[in-house]
Structure 1
Amino acid sequence: MPASEHIVRFDAVEKTYDGANIVVKRLNLNIRRGEFLTMLGPSGSGKTTSLMMLAGFEAPTSGAILLDGRPIEKLPPHRRNIGVVFQNYALFPNMSVAENVAFPLQMRKVSKADQSKEVQAALDMVQMGQFASRKPAQLSGGQQQRIALARALVFKPSLVLMDEPLGALDKQLREHMQLEIKHLHEQLGISIVYVTHDQGEALTMSDRIAIFNDGVVQQLGSPNEVYERPANPFVARFIGDNNALQGRVESVDGLVCRIQLDGSQQMVRGRSNGSLRPGSRTTLSIRPERIQIDPDGKHENVALATVEEVIYLGDHVRVRVSALGSSEIIIKVANGAVGSSELAKGGALNIGWSESDCAALQ
């Protein structure tokens, strides 16, 4: 029988610790074989609990979890054959690096000769081959995380789970490790389920992102889909910077709607997902980098704005303006763009954006 397209399936899975508060609510989620899927969301959203149920460290209250088509809710963690990487490394301090990496092989009764060969290959894979005899305390945080990764990969699992694995690293090292893990995933072709609250990390590394809030997946899609086509105001707010303007739908023509903004006499045009009707309340989502200063007339939406604040951030300038009844509209202007050096608090300017860059959400 050919292997299923999906390596993991959550089927109506729920989790409650006290019988009253449901932490994960009827989770239905299929994880494709060989994909890098990130569970993203704020603290308490249910993402880590979902990962822990898949790993076997938590049991679902109801529903089924299938791995390679077999239910695993009652299977202990060590029999699931899943690699796990934690934020705190979880290395044995009294063991050498090589002994730490060899531990999963010892548990699987692999011969000493094969252990030595597999450990060396795993350490070389994460560029730590020369550190085999050291103890974890003699390594930096980034090096310890590489060892934890080697230990999760050494027994060649088809699925690896990662729970905030880079959270303890500094920004530069974290970004470097993001690309290393992404390249390892591409090289090995394994399935990875990755938990983080860092939106940039999720956008950088993932094939698909499941965005959690209040125990429910709000949207599941590629990084491009969840950023460019957010399903609701929460997703728009949580993924990337976002301008949210409130208003009422005046008219709908296909997937284009005209909106009367709160606190403004001006109408704007936005892109609907098809569910809006005249009279509906809506939240407009506009990414800061999609708003143009001194638009060239090709934009469907234009407005007069007053500069409230200018912040220099190196590669771009962050400008906060008052316009359309709001004093909190943010614009990102590329450093060196025409007019970027002339922006000053109190100055007046014209801004504009396309209707295709303005999502009308419910």
Structure 2
Amino acid sequence: MYSSNNQMPKNKLYYQQNLPNQMVTAVIVLNSELTVQYANPAAEALLIKSINKLKGSTLNTIFFNNPISDKRLKQLLTSGQEFSDSDVILEFFDRRKITVEITASSVVFDKNPHILLEFKQIDQQKQISAEAFQQQQWESARDLIRGLAHEIKNPLGGLRGAAQLLNRELNEEQQEYTQMIIEQADRLTNLVDRLLGPNQVPKMATQNIHIVLEKVAQLVSFNNPQQSEIIKDYDPSLPDICFDEDKIHQAILNIINNAIQVIGSDGQIILKTRAASNKTINGKKIKLAAQISIIDNGPGIPEKLQDTLFYPMVSGRANGTGLGLSISQTLVNQHQGKLSCVSQPGHTEFIILLPITQEAAS
């Protein structure tokens, strides 16, 4: 950080050797007219613009939403009082958005007042914190549901057994009522079993993920009343990965079935695979992962549901059970993977990340 007493040699005001070129934090220097005089390499990378394009620009021409008003910057030049803002969303003219912390301070170069702006991008930290919180909430909700499911299942067995015994003592007309009790007990038992989720340990084998996607696509084509278009966008260079075929098959099928039920007759589903590097999965850094994306052009997921989308019994459909995505989350977690979703009207993308071992990548 520069203090207001710092002076720079004349004719070297914005020379690279006198400014923090090696800083990871993006730094921009404004003159008293609030135009850019310098941006370090980190700022060039953040703004996706070179110093030649940035020099002479104002913040209004760089950002779609000016993060700091000119009035506030003028006050900083007058008072010299440093200030900081956190969780500031910067929006660019190409609609790209990032979240940053901004620190603004007054500095003097060659006896002239300037403003030093530091931008620290915090999207990744916020995402990791949000994912960790959501994971914790999901696990708590799942454990609660499982506990309730066990409590429900035990008396259901007794209820069904009693109805069976009573059924033997009744005539055919009266047996209609006990049979209804048995059928409803079986229906609730089936629901409870689904709430308890998959319990079997995955049978891991190294194989090609595209084989599973092809099987899912073929199965969906046989049960696709909307005749939604299935588009395949595979990366053939993706190495084999270690997973349980049946479990990943079920996880992907649940997601696609959900999509088919909400998109219209002109709906489109894209199955996309790519290699993804340096990803964070449940707080652990993964060098290389297989990324499977299931993308649809439907109406999108309501914003109020997006944070709890993978919780049991949460559904955006009137006739939905809210179990499909929760089960998919459990199945992917059993593979030390990650299931996430980004959604807006016209574009909903479910992303499955599965770690690629060094042996498979070599």
Query: What interval of TM-score do these two structures reach, taking the shorter chain for normalisation?
Result: under 0.3
From the two aligned structures, give the one with the greater helix fraction.
Answer: 2
From the two aligned structures, give the one with the greater strand fraction.
Answer: 1
Higher-Rg member (1/2): 2
TM-score computed with the length of structure 1 as normaliser: 0.27
Structure having greater relative contact order (Cα 8 Å, sep ≥ 6): 1
